[in-house]
Chain A
Amino acid sequence: METDTTTPPAGAPLTEDGVRDDDARGAGGGEDGLWEELVTSALLGTDRRAPARLAGLPGAELPGALLDLAALHTVRRRAGLRPGPAAPPPEPAPEDHRRPLPGAARRRLDQLLAGRAAPSPAGRRGAAPDLAELLPQWLALANERGYQAPAAALPSLLDAARARTDLRPQALQLAGPRGLWLARLNPEWRFALRGAGAGGSLPDPRDQDGVRALWEEGLFAERVALLGAVRTEDPAAGLALLAATWSAERAEDRLMFLDSLRTGLSGADEEFLEEALGDRSRNVRATAAELLSALPASALAGRMAGRAVTCVGLDRTAESPTITVEAPHECDSAMQRDGLAATPPAGRGERSWWLGQLVEAAPLSCWPPRFGGRAPEEIVALPVADDWQAELHAAWCRAAVRQRDAAWSRALLGSPATPPATGPGTSSLAERAQLLSTLPPEERARWVGSFIAAHGLSEAFQLLGVCEVPWAEPLGGAVIDALDIAREAGSYPWSFSGVMGLAERCLAPEAAQQLESLTARPEEAEDVSPGAGGYWSEAFQRLVSTLRLREAMRAELTTPAR
């Protein structure tokens, strides 16, 4: 029978008294020899094999005698255990020079991380704050204030980052060098070493030799991170780095690297991008064209403007001035080189597809001269002949977003009071949200506030998502009023759970006072949904307590460290 009969389990790190390692084990004689004999005999049965040491005893006494010896051996072995040899210790974790968290913030982090482990049950959410939703804010704030993560909290922090990819950048930043050190020891946290892991060991962007060495020898992810870092620090140096090795890069790598140029894009990049329009890869060409069209002074933008104005013009002979559209009849090779896709997606006409791309890529500055010096608002208000309005306005929206043009965005958004379906520009909320993001933050908050005051909350979710946190007035007030109106109208709060969740995370903590009066449970009226009042009061309670909690979180991270 094949059985391991050595004393402790295989590879045992504890050794017996006076015996170092395994030099005396299995030597046949002595105590260890006896023990092996006992185990073999016990395994097979004393009826079949009696230990030699007990030879001569009657069979009935053998088991007791064997157990006596075994007990003696066991206690003797346990009492004489010695430590085993030490393995080489791990490399010490790199030092973290950030300051430690204040005590209260430290405890808050533990709470938030524990809250993540035990999420609220689905459905009705009760009156207590949803801690997991506050973790991203807490992490961002702690990073902004330059705190280090407490060492004992690192495992929970890495677990949180593993479960939620949206938390990763902030969680890993807080975890810092010791977090990466720890992640290398546990395969479950390997994710931390990918991409972001390289971030921990990037050379200083100003260290030219280090940058060049990593750029030439690094892994793809390291190189992408490096180019991003250098480009943020010094756009020209980033471009030079990329240009040096450009022709030798693989097509899919070229695409990713080119994308890094979005950061710090300027006229200085034009020459390089213009050359990339002749790239072998179609995706690289398209990206180069897109970047160039975001530079209204570029040659490509000029070419696009020339093409676009021949297609779109003003018919002065009509009763009132009207925009006429003559879509392109062909997409020649010069247009294709400038990034136009010749083949439309299924179900779209070629000519309108080409027109859309032309107008999108043309600098918006080419239109006022074309329309007799009219301002964007006036141009957007002009009637468009032959049902081209939707196509043309949609292309202008895309252009305004691409060129980050606030004046055109404002014009295309129109008045917030106008119902979305009848306004200018676009009725798509996603596109409106993009247009909004080009406006200055206060204007954004004002526009969305007025929109909510006019149309309520049902379509506001995406628009609220692009507003800066915490919500500035009058936006916060408008949201609270709209929630109050919805409550009085008798709907259930979970119809607004998306906005409620956003409000918990984004309302300014000062709003808690205004909300306090809404937490009371109202008398149940007859014409409303049964029980709605109680649920609303609960939802408002949660809102208030979340705001208070956020205020406390912020205060805890503001107090000076111990």
Chain B
Amino acid sequence: MGVRWTAEQVLALAPDDASRSAGSKLGTAGPWSGRGSGGGAVWGLCKGSGRVPYRTVVDTTGPAYWCECPSRKFPCKHALGLLLLQASDGTESGESAAPDWAGRWLAARRERAGSAARETGGGAGGPADPEAARRRAERRAARITSGAEELEQRLADLLRGGLAAAEQRGYGPWEETAARMVDAQAPGLAGRVRELGAIPGSGPGWPVRLLEECALTHLLDRAWLTADRLPAPLATTVRTRVGLPAPVGDVPVRDHWLVLAQYDAADARLTTRRIWLHGTASGRTALLLSFGAAGRAPRLALPVGAVLDGELTPHAGSGRLRAEPGEQFVPVEGPVAPPPGGPVGAALDAYGRALREDPWLDSWPVTLSEVVPARAEYGWQLADADGREALPLTPAAQSRPGLWRLVALSGGAPVTVFGECGHRGFTPLTAWSPETPGETVPLI
């Protein structure tokens, strides 16, 4: 099975512009030796600055990468260069057998993949001692409960003294509360508290936003403390929001998945990568998350605009957007069509409906069809082609370079845009123009 990625798809895998550029430079025969491909893998030796070339191998069915270089980027420029070079090889260069060093890694990786699949398939991969696990879970729930009670008390104190007085005390007390929530093993609450702390410095209108977010945090606390009385799907959502790991469902969905968008958000501790997929047969939208610790790029990278054949396992609970990727994704040839979309009003309806399942949602993935970017007094918006209704872009999206790609692609004419629609407005992530059908333009 020789899986060949196109140069576009390979470039989309790059974690940032610098790697894209560095990878492109290595996408020429010059620095490479001992190159070969076969059995769904590509390998080669790349001459770097050192005396000994780096050995690089890519399993294109993953995709998964291994390289001897010390780079923390993932995939590294050598893996990108190798894939680009393969993409530009005019003719099928024929299958060959992997050299020992590449073969060992490939075999080990596929062994892992196989056993993971068996576990998921068998569904019996439970912990060794269910009784101990149950006790651990109870202890953690008790800690979270005391954390949630403490947070409730702090919110009450805040409201009694007034938000204005809290603003003058600055970020310190928030950070301290967030640390208490980390101690209580409730990372979801800790994250919310940190965001609360940032609101007073976020410009005009902050009291309204702070009250809204305090109220929703209060709602989450109350929901956790009374979770046993909630319907099961909502209770799962509450547990996930508080920060407990989401239970992975046991029914994988196989489909041809269009990679809609991939973007990273980083704070000092963690880089979170979000990947949106659209199942072309099931019509399902799925979100994959991948994490990288402190400055490292997350492991999972999929090329925007590619259609991949593979399995996803959706998480249980309400909302059900999040999914875990299967081990193998194989690119599918063929035309790319954007997901079916609707007018801006329907996008807000979809967000509103989603709030019924999960009132803490900030946004919901939607596709807008036949919309035109237009400039209103407050900034850019996406307007229905009939010129009646419009959705504003979020303040963050107003200042991203992707905005200009969207405007350029549209040229004042209707386009199809995928993005996240929420109470702050719309964040465009990907666009398609009828002028260049089949071209997926990432906006972030």
Does B bind A? yes
Q: Does A247 sit within 8 A of B, measured CB to CB?
A: no
Shortest beta-carbon distance from B440 to chain A in Å: 10
The one of B8, B205, B388, B401 that contacts A107, using a Cβ cutoff of 8 Å: B8
Q: Does B425 sit within 8 A of A, measured CB to CB?
A: yes
B22 touches A118 (CB 8 A): yes
* B238-246, B279-287, B431-439: which lies at the interface: B431-439
Find the B residue at minimum CB distance from A115: B21
- In the bound complex, how far is the Cα of B405 from the Cα of A154, in angstroms? 7
Scoring A residues 70 to 114 as 1 if CB is less than 8 Å from chain B, else 0, what string do you get?
Answer: 110111011111111111111111000000100010010011001
B408 touches A155 (CB 8 A): yes
A87 touches B21 (CB 8 A): no
A70 touches B423 (CB 8 A): no
B423 touches A83 (CB 8 A): no
Shortest beta-carbon distance from B72 to chain A in Å: 16
The one of A43, A182, A545 that contacts B163, using a Cβ cutoff of 8 Å: A43
B374 touches A90 (CB 8 A): yes
The one of B8, B162, B356 that contacts A44, using a Cβ cutoff of 8 Å: B162
B218 touches A71 (CB 8 A): yes
A residues less than 8 Å from B356 (CB atoms): 79
B residues less than 8 Å from A78 (CB atoms): 351-352, 355, 422-423
Shortest beta-carbon distance from A126 to chain B in Å: 7
B residues less than 8 Å from A70 (CB atoms): 211-212, 214-215, 218
Q: Does B301 sit within 8 A of A, measured CB to CB?
A: no
Scoring A residues 167 to 201 as 1 if CB is less than 8 Å from chain B, else 0, what string do you get?
Answer: 00000000000100110011000000000000000
B164 touches A44 (CB 8 A): yes
Q: Does A235 sit within 8 A of B, measured CB to CB?
A: no
Most buried by A among B20, B24, B157, B373: B24
* B91-99, B189-197, B316-324, B378-386: which lies at the interface: B378-386
B11 touches A110 (CB 8 A): yes
The one of A67, A152, A545 that contacts B218, using a Cβ cutoff of 8 Å: A67
The one of A5, A60, A127, A129 that contacts B207, using a Cβ cutoff of 8 Å: A5
Most buried by A among B17, B152, B156, B408: B408
Q: Does B392 sit within 8 A of A, measured CB to CB?
A: yes
The one of A64, A90, A118, A181 that contacts B17, using a Cβ cutoff of 8 Å: A118
Q: Does B411 sit within 8 A of A, measured CB to CB?
A: yes
Give the interface size bracket for B toward A: 35 or more
Contacts A42-B211, A118-B22 given; does A79 touch B352 at CB 8 Å:
yes
Find the A residue at minimum CB distance from B213: A74
Q: In the complex, how many residue pairs between chain A and chain B have their CB atoms under 8 Å apart?
A: 258
Q: Does A541 sit within 8 A of B, measured CB to CB?
A: yes
* B28-36, B103-111, B116-124: which lies at the interface: B28-36
A14 touches B205 (CB 8 A): no
Shortest beta-carbon distance from A154 to chain B in Å: 4
The one of A45, A128, A152 that contacts B25, using a Cβ cutoff of 8 Å: A128
A84 touches B390 (CB 8 A): yes
Find the A residue at minimum CB distance from B81: A128
Scoring A residues 6 to 47 as 1 if CB is less than 8 Å from chain B, else 0, what string do you get?
Answer: 111111111000000000000000000000001100111111
A47 touches B161 (CB 8 A): yes
Shortest beta-carbon distance from A525 to chain B in Å: 18
B412 touches A63 (CB 8 A): no
- In the bound complex, how far is the Cα of B438 from the Cα of A100, in angstroms? 14
Shortest beta-carbon distance from B236 to chain A in Å: 19
Contacts A48-B162, A74-B216 given; does A64 touch B359 at CB 8 Å:
no
B390 touches A111 (CB 8 A): no
B407 touches A13 (CB 8 A): no
B164 touches A152 (CB 8 A): no
Interface size on A, residues (CB 8 A): 84
- In the bound complex, how far is the Cα of B26 from the Cα of A126, in angstroms? 11
Contacts A71-B218, A111-B24, A128-B26 given; does A43 touch B162 at CB 8 Å:
yes
Q: Does B344 sit within 8 A of A, measured CB to CB?
A: yes
B383 touches A87 (CB 8 A): yes
A residues less than 8 Å from B156 (CB atoms): 60, 63-64
The one of B17, B18, B411, B436 that contacts A93, using a Cβ cutoff of 8 Å: B411
B residues less than 8 Å from A128 (CB atoms): 25-26, 28, 30-31
Contacts A45-B162, A151-B433 given; does A83 touch B352 at CB 8 Å:
no
- In the bound complex, how far is the Cα of B210 from the Cα of A38, in angstroms? 12
A93 touches B412 (CB 8 A): yes
Shortest beta-carbon distance from A539 to chain B in Å: 12
A115 touches B25 (CB 8 A): yes
B residues less than 8 Å from A545 (CB atoms): 28-31
A residues less than 8 Å from B351 (CB atoms): 78-79, 81
Find the B residue at minimum CB distance from A130: B25
- In the bound complex, how far is the Cα of B212 from the Cα of A74, in angstroms? 6
B387 touches A86 (CB 8 A): yes
B24 touches A114 (CB 8 A): yes
The one of B47, B49, B88, B436 that contacts A151, using a Cβ cutoff of 8 Å: B436
A residues less than 8 Å from B11 (CB atoms): 107, 110-111, 114
Known: A13-B378, A88-B374, A548-B30. 11 other contacts (CB 8 A): A13-B391, A42-B163, A71-B218, A86-B390, A90-B412, A107-B7, A111-B20, A131-B24, A151-B409, A185-B407, A542-B30
Q: Which residues of A contact B (CB under 8 A)?
A: 1, 3-14, 38-39, 42-48, 59-60, 62-64, 66-68, 70-71, 73-75, 77-93, 100, 104, 107, 110-111, 114-115, 117-118, 126-129, 131, 150-152, 154-155, 178, 181-182, 185-186, 519, 541-542, 544-545, 548-549, 552
The 3 A-B residue pairs with the shortest CB-CB distance in the complex, in nearest-first order = A45-B162, A128-B25, A93-B411
For this complex, 30 residue pairs linking A to B, each with C-beta atoms less than 8 Å apart, are A4-B205, A5-B207, A9-B208, A14-B348, A39-B208, A39-B211, A42-B214, A47-B160, A68-B218, A70-B215, A71-B218, A73-B215, A78-B352, A81-B351, A84-B390, A86-B383, A88-B374, A114-B11, A114-B21, A126-B25, A127-B47, A129-B28, A150-B439, A151-B436, A152-B439, A155-B408, A178-B411, A182-B404, A519-B30, A542-B30
Q: Which residues of B contact A (CB under 8 A)?
A: 7-8, 11, 17-18, 20-22, 24-26, 28-31, 47, 49, 88, 152, 155-165, 204-205, 207-212, 214-216, 218-219, 222, 344-345, 348, 351-352, 355-356, 359, 372-378, 381, 383-384, 387-392, 401, 404-405, 407-409, 411-413, 422-423, 425, 433, 435-436, 439, 441
